[in-house]
Amino acid sequence: MKHGCTPPPGIPSNNENALRLASFIWQYRFCGPIFERMETMISNGPSLSPEASRVRQPGVAGTIMRLFPAREVLRYLVVGVGNTLFGYGCYAVFVALYNHLLPARYLPFTVDLASITATPIGVTMSFLTYKTFVFRTKGDYLKEWLRCFAVYGSATIPGLFILPVLTKLLQSIAPLRGVAPYLAGAVVMGGTTIYTYLAHKNFSFSRRNTDKSGLPTQSNSAVATESHTA
């Protein structure tokens, strides 16, 4: 399957063209063959057309399948693991760099500075990979990039409040007292993953946009074609 992304002509002159060029380089020079191989393996397995899925899975089950299409969710999880490792790697590199440049007594400030520096890089990588390999939208590079920052920002703030409350609640259960912080972190991370998937699907990379005539955009046409050929 060929991914729909064409290289921009010439040298990028603004932020959107720079993101377009980065997406092209990342897609065709680094990870394109890996994801094409993965999609081939998924496509060779048993699958149902969207119509058949709705017939065989009515009610709540059908709604869940429409909200979380299996192939897209699998791509999202695989890409998400890679993005997490990349983001943590950036954080670790900046921690080491700032520890080398700043005195040891500034360690608490160093980790915050490393996190602040690594976050835009990690979000940009997530944007490029989700756009290219998961949701496969076209155009709107700058708008979708900014929306990704909004999604991750809105996901982080509730977690800061929920995590300590949930940890304290789990500590009140004797068998879970020793693992309460880790279990609370896993629960919050799971909830955040579901939230960010739905937010990216319906906001960051929304396919519901139409042109002024009310006809589907090129992105929607591509999605419809893919659903009939999958």
CA-CA distance, 101 to 98, in Å (whole number)?
A: 5
Q: What is the pLDDT of residues 160-207, one digit of tens each?
A: 889 999 999 999 998 988 888 889 999 998 999 999 999 999 999 987
Does residue 80 form part of some domain? yes
Residue 220 has pLDDT above 50, yes or no: no
More confident residue, 213 or 82: 82
Does residue 191 form part of some domain? yes
Does residue 156 form part of some domain? yes
pLDDT band at 2 (very low <50, low <70, confident <90, very high): very low
Does residue 129 form part of some domain? yes
Domain carrying residue 97? 69-229
CA angle 50, 197, 5 (to 5 degrees): 75
pLDDT band at 125 (very low <50, low <70, confident <90, very high): very high
Does residue 60 form part of some domain? no
Does residue 15 form part of some domain? no
Residue 110 Cα distances to 122, 137, 216, angstroms:
18, 37, 48
Query: For position 86, what pLDDT does the model report?
Result: 95
pLDDT band at 215 (very low <50, low <70, confident <90, very high): very low
Task: List phi, psi (to 5°) of 65.
Answer: -65, -35
Q: What is the pTM of this model?
A: 0.64
> Which percentage of the chain shows pLDDT scores above 70?
63
Query: For position 160, what pLDDT does the model report?
Result: 83
Query: For position 54, what pLDDT does the model report?
Result: 44
Mean pLDDT of 12-37: 59
Does residue 50 form part of some domain? no
Domain count for the chain:
1
